[in-house]
Amino acid sequence: MFYHTGITHSFNDQRADIVVDGILQTFYFKFSYQPFKDQDGQITGVFCFANDVTELVLSRQRLAASEESARSAIAAARLGTFDKDLVTGEMFWDARCREMFDIAQEKQVSYEDDFLPGLHPADRERVNSHIVNFAFIKALSDGDYDVEYRAIGAGDKKTRWIRSRGKVFFNDDNHPIRFIGTVFEITDIKLADEKSALLSAIIQSSYDAIISINLHGMIESWNKAAERMFGFTSDEIVGQSILKIIPPEKVEEERQILYGLKNDERLEHFETKRLTKDGKLLDISITVSPIKNDADEIIGLSKIARDITDQKLAEMRKNDFITIASHELKTPLTTIKSYVQLLLAKARAADDAFRIDALSRVEKQANKMSVLIQNFLNNAKLLEGKFDLDVERFNMHELLLEVEHYAKILSPTHQIVLKDCDDVSVVADRDKIAQVMENLVSNAVKYSPVNTTIIIGCKKINGQAQISVTDTGIGIDKKDQGKLFDRFYRVENDKLKNVAGFGIGLYLVAEILRFHDSRILVESTANVGSKFYFNLPISMD
Ligand code: ADP
C-alpha cells in the first residue's frame, strides 16, 4: 500500500506484545512508513521507523488513572471545583460548585456576575479582597487560598456556609494566571458550632456552677460560676480529680453517685458539702446527670451545683428559733391542758353545758397545739441527729382506737371510722407511731370536705400489719406525690392557698417510719381522695 501511493503513514501508540528474554511483554511503538525513492523519484522501497514510546504511553495511562481517582476522591468528599483562567477571564465551575451557588449547569459563569453576587453581602467585600489583594499577590500568599464564606443560592436564596481552598498559579513575572480550587459545604458544622457557642455562653453565664467530669472522676469542664464558688480557675482545675473539692467524709458518697450514674440514674437537688480552694466547707445542692455519646453510652457526668450555705444558715436559725419556742411553749401548754381537763370534769359533773362546750373547744385547740409542738421538737431532734426510738411491743388495734377517739374529739366535722382492723401486735415506738397516725389523720381532715368519712385501717398482709388512712378529699397530683415527704414541702395550688401548714408533718411521718425500717406510701387521685399507708412487721410473741 505505501509502496504504491508513496504517502508517508504514521501510527501512534501501537501496541506490540513481544517476547523478550523469554517473557511476553507489552510495548508501544510509533510506526512511520516512508517511501524510499530512487534518483528518478520511483519508489523502490519503504522505510519503516519504529520508535519505542512505551514509557510515554504508560505514564500517560498512569496520569489518566490518577486524574480519575482524584475526580472520584473529589466527588466522594463532596467537593466542588472551580478553575479560572486569569488571562482569558474564563471560569469553569463543576456541577457541585454550581449546586452550592444554585446556578444552572449549562450557564456560562463569571467571577463578576456569578461568584461575587452569589456571596452573602456581609462576606462579599472580605472574600473579594482576600482573593484580589492577598491570594493573587505571590509575595503575600505564595498562591495559597483558604477562606470561609456564606453563599446565597441564586435561585433558592438559601444560605450555605462554604469553605473554599485553592491555589493560584503565577507566570515568570509573578502575575497570577490561573486560579483553581475546591468548595465544600460546611453549613452543618457551622450551625453546630453556633449552637455549641450558644450553649457554652449560657453555661458560662449561669449562676450555678456547672462542671463535667469523665468516668474516672477527672474534671473536664468548669464554668465561671464554679470558679467563683470554689475558688479554682478553670485552668487550675480542668484535668484534675473532682476529689479536690470533695471533703474526705463525702468521698464514699461521691463514689456511690458515680456508681448510680453508670446505671443511668439521675440525681436531683441532692444536698451535700464541698470544699473550696481555701478549705472552706460549702453547703451545696447538686443535680447530677449522665453525659452520653452518640452510641448512648455514658461517658461522663455533669454536675450542676448551687451554693446553699446562706439558705442553710437561715434554715438553721429558723429551726433553732422554732425549737426554742417549742420548748418554751411545751411546759405551759401541759399545765393549761391539765387545768382544762380538771375544769372540764367539774363542768361535766355540774352538767354546765356552756362550760362543757367552751372548755371542750379549749381542749381541742390545746391538743392541736401540742401535736404541732411535738412535730417541731421531733424535727429539731432529727436535724440535730438526736432522734431515737423507744421500742416496745404493743397492740396496734388499741393504739388505733385511741387515735380514732382522739381524732373524733379533734375533728367533729368529719366521720372518723376505724375499719377492718385486725388484732395485731407490733414492736415499735408507740408514741411515735401515734404521732404518725395523728399527722395522717389530721391531714386527711384538713384536705377533705366537711362531713366526709376518714377511714383508719389495719390489715394483715403477708405477715405484716398494713396501717392506712383513707380520705375522699382533694387528692394529690402525680407530679407532687414524690415530693410530699420533703421537709417544708407544700403543694401549691389555688385550692390550697388558704390552708395553713408548715409542710413538716409528712416529712416527720416519713422519717419516723424510716427509723422503723419502713416507709410511707401514697395512692392518690386528684379530686377523688388519698390513701396513705405503711407496713410494720407483726410481732408473734
Ligand atoms: P402541711 O403542714 O402543709 O399539711 P404536710 O407535710 O403534712 O404539711 O403535707 C404536705 C402537703 O401534702 C400538704 O401541703 C398537702 O398539699 C399534701 N397533703 C398531705 N396529706 C394530704 C391529703 N390527705 N390529701 C391531699 N393532700 C395532702
pLDDT tens track for 314-357:
888 888 888 888 888 888 899 999 999 999 999 999 999 999 99
The answer for residues whose C-beta is within 8 angstroms of residue 248's C-beta and 6 or more apart is none
Q: What is the separation, in whole angstroms, between the first and last Cα of the chain?
A: 130
- Topology agreement, domain 206-307 and domain 388-537: no
203: left (phi over 0), alpha (psi -120 to 50) or beta: alpha
491 lines ligand 1 (CB under 6 A): yes
The pLDDT of residue 198? 87
Nearest CA to ligand 1 atom 8: 503
The pLDDT of residue 300? 87
Q: Does the pLDDT of residue 239 top 90, yes or no?
A: yes
Task: Average the pLDDT over 116-129 and give the result.
Answer: 95
The pLDDT of residue 520? 95
Are the CB atoms for 470 and 432 separated by under 8 Å?
no
Q: Does the pLDDT of residue 151 top 90, yes or no?
A: yes
- Residue 291 Cα distances to 264, 283, 301, 303, 396, angstroms: 10, 25, 5, 10, 49
Test site for ligand 1: of 411, 443, 499, 530, most ligand atoms within 8 A of the Cβ: 443
Q: Look up residue 167 and give its three cell numbers.
A: 491555589
Round the average pLDDT of the chain to a whole number and report it: 89
445 lines ligand 1 (CB under 6 A): no
String of b and e for 41-80 (b: at least 16 CB within 10 Å)?
eeeeeeeeeeeebbeebeeeeeeeeeeeeeeeebeeeebb
State the architecture of 2-61 in CATH terms: 2-Layer Sandwich (3.30)
Nearest atom of ligand 1 to the alpha carbon of 503: 8
Q: Look up residue 22 and give its three cell numbers.
A: 523469554
- Cα–ligand 1 centroid distance for 1 (angstroms): 116
- Fold adopted by 388-537: Heat Shock Protein 90 (3.30.565)
Nearest CA to ligand 1 atom 25: 475
For the chain, give the percent of residues with pLDDT over 90: 56
Instruction: Write the DSSP string, 238-291.
Output: TTSBGGGGS-GGGHHHHHHHHHHHHTT--EEEEEEEEE-TTS-EEEEEEEEEEE
Where exactly are the structural domains of the chain?
2-61, 79-190, 206-307, 308-372, 388-537
Measured distance CA(292)–CA(231) in Å, rounded: 28
The pLDDT of residue 354? 96
**Each residue's pLDDT tens digit, 78-100:** 789 999 999 999 999 999 999 99
Q: Does the pLDDT of residue 1 top 70, yes or no?
A: no
Residue, of 181 and 490, whose pLDDT is higher: 181
**Each residue's pLDDT tens digit, 14-39:** 888 888 888 888 888 888 888 888 88
473 lines ligand 1 (CB under 6 A): yes
Q: Does the pLDDT of residue 420 top 70, yes or no?
A: yes
Residue, of 483 and 449, whose pLDDT is higher: 449
State the architecture of 206-307 in CATH terms: 2-Layer Sandwich (3.30)
Q: Report CA 454 to chain centroid distance, whole Å.
A: 44
Test site for ligand 1: of 468, 472, 476, 496, most ligand atoms within 8 A of the Cβ: 476
- Cα–ligand 1 centroid distance for 535 (angstroms): 20
340 lines ligand 1 (CB under 6 A): no
The pLDDT of residue 108? 93
Task: Average the pLDDT over 523-535 and give the result.
Answer: 95
Measured distance CA(501)–CA(487) in Å, rounded: 12
3-state secondary structure of 296: coil
- Cα–ligand 1 centroid distance for 312 (angstroms): 23
The pLDDT of residue 3? 62
**Each residue's pLDDT tens digit, 425-475:** 999 999 999 999 999 999 999 999 999 999 999 999 988 999 999 999 999
Q: Does the pLDDT of residue 46 top 90, yes or no?
A: no
The pLDDT of residue 82? 94
Test site for ligand 1: of 456, 490, 511, most ligand atoms within 8 A of the Cβ: 490
Are the CB atoms for 171 and 177 separated by under 8 Å?
yes
Task: Average the pLDDT over 364-389 and give the result.
Answer: 85
Nearest CA to ligand 1 atom 18: 443
Test site for ligand 1: of 322, 414, 447, 523, most ligand atoms within 8 A of the Cβ: 447
- The CATH number of 79-190, from 3.30.450.20, 3.30.1370.100, 3.40.640.10, 3.40.50.280, is 3.30.450.20
Q: Using CA of residue 56, residue 60, residue 65, residue 70, what is the dihedral sign?
A: positive
